[in-house]
Chain A
Amino acid sequence: MNGNHWTGDELVAHLYGVGLDDGHERNCAECRARIAAMRARREETSSEDGVSAGFLRSQRVAIAQRIETRRAEWEAWWRTPVWVALMAALALVLSAPRPASEPTMAGGLNRSQEAGMYLDIYQSISSEEPRALAPMHGLFEEQ
């Protein structure tokens, strides 16, 4: 603070929003007017941009072209995987192994082997002698 007013640096700080909020701006019409004049100077110097209408037009055309190119690329990209997926599914279907003529069980037995197995089980259950004695009987059987 220089006397009753803000210094030059304080004015700049307030213009850029980093000054101390001491309430001075509300109470001092002179400092308020200085800030307003500085803001006007800033806007006056900022309006010198030198960007031509032609440049902006060509930039808009470039933006529109890039959007269109992207859209076309997106559509092409979208179509390709659909065809690839369809072809892959078809290839899978065609290359799948065909079923065997006689279906096999989980343990690898076909139906006739399965029937023989059940017969063996039935015979071993219905026989009164333990199955382990059968080879010994064979020793005494007449030829």
Chain B
Amino acid sequence: MGVMAEPLAHRGVLRSSTTVPQAAADLLREFDSWVGREQKRVYLLCLRMLQDAEEADIAAQDCFLKAHRALTAKQSIELDDPSKWITRIAVNTCLDRLRSRSWKFWRRRPSHDDEALILANAPEESPCAESQAFARQISVRLQEALATLSERQRAVFLLRHYEDRKLEEIAEILDLDVGTVKAHMARAVAKLRLLLRDLYGELR
């Protein structure tokens, strides 16, 4: 049994949700291909949450490791929506990392060899195109602006902005009530007002 990636509702949206419940044993059997389908979305979510490529890479790996461990331990259970499940794992992993980050007095600088390896593995710059300039500029500004949000506000905003999830879904993923999610979203939108005005300005 395989998880069929839902056709993307809109171009560019990376969400690949399944609404059909799936047995953990089946998901474990096709774990590699499931990782392949969800990996990019999970990595980008981690990257946007953590704002550090190296840490996001490790966090994304941790997410799938946790998922594998859970699937191995409880093969008889059935997952309502594996996509939502891995998203929840990713958000919680990132929130844990952000919390533990605040206790670090210093951040380890990688050794010269590690640094070279990281650079070799770093996401490649896509070919420069006129039409992508605006998108890149906004993306950079958005990354900077996201740093001004609290952890929860960031998670709520990212799940809506990049994955177009409903507030009810976000509430389920973050284990919050919808009212709290709305409050976080309203604050996030208020903080990012100037940036969003630039992003959508000419369309209004």
B107 at the interface (CB under 8 A from A): no
A44 at the interface (CB under 8 A from B): yes
In the complex where A45-B134, A50-B123 touch, is A56 in contact with B13 (Cβ < 8 A)? no
Q: Are B124 and A47 in contact (CB under 8 A)?
A: no
Within 8 A of B (CB), among A9-38: 9, 11-13, 15-18, 34, 37-38
- Please tell me which stretch of B16-24, B31-39, B83-91, B97-105 contacts chain A, meaning at least 4 of its Cβ atoms lie within 8 angstroms of it: B31-39
Q: Are A46 and B189 in contact (CB under 8 A)?
A: no
B4 at the interface (CB under 8 A from A): no
Alpha-carbon gap, A51 to B56, bound state (A)? 12
Closest to B58 in A: A62
A40 at the interface (CB under 8 A from B): yes
A60 at the interface (CB under 8 A from B): yes
Tell me the minimal C-beta distance from A27 to chain B in angstroms. Answer: 19
Inter-chain contact total with CB atoms closer than 8 Å: 118
Q: Are B65 and A50 in contact (CB under 8 A)?
A: no
A98 at the interface (CB under 8 A from B): no
Picked from A13, A37, A70, the residue with its CB within 8 Å of the CB of B65 is: A70
B121 at the interface (CB under 8 A from A): yes
A117 at the interface (CB under 8 A from B): no
A59 at the interface (CB under 8 A from B): yes
- Please tell me which stretch of B74-82, B144-152, B158-166 contacts chain A, meaning at least 4 of its Cβ atoms lie within 8 angstroms of it: B158-166
Question: Which residues of B lie under 8 Å from residue A12 when comparing CB positions?
Answer: 189, 193, 196-197, 200
Tell me the minimal C-beta distance from A17 to chain B in angstroms. Answer: 5
**Known pairs A40-B10, A60-B39 / 16 extra A-B pairs, C-beta < 8 Å:** A11-B200, A12-B196, A18-B185, A34-B204, A38-B204, A39-B164, A41-B199, A42-B199, A49-B14, A49-B44, A51-B44, A55-B122, A55-B124, A56-B39, A59-B60, A59-B61
A interface, CB within 8 angstroms of B: 8-9, 11-13, 15-18, 34, 37-52, 54-56, 58-60, 62-64, 66-67, 70
16 contacts between A and B (CB under 8 A): A16-B185, A16-B189, A17-B167, A18-B167, A18-B186, A40-B10, A41-B200, A43-B11, A43-B12, A46-B162, A48-B132, A51-B43, A51-B44, A54-B124, A55-B124, A56-B43
| Among all A-B residue pairs, the 3 with the closest Cβ atoms | A47-B12, A43-B12, A52-B124
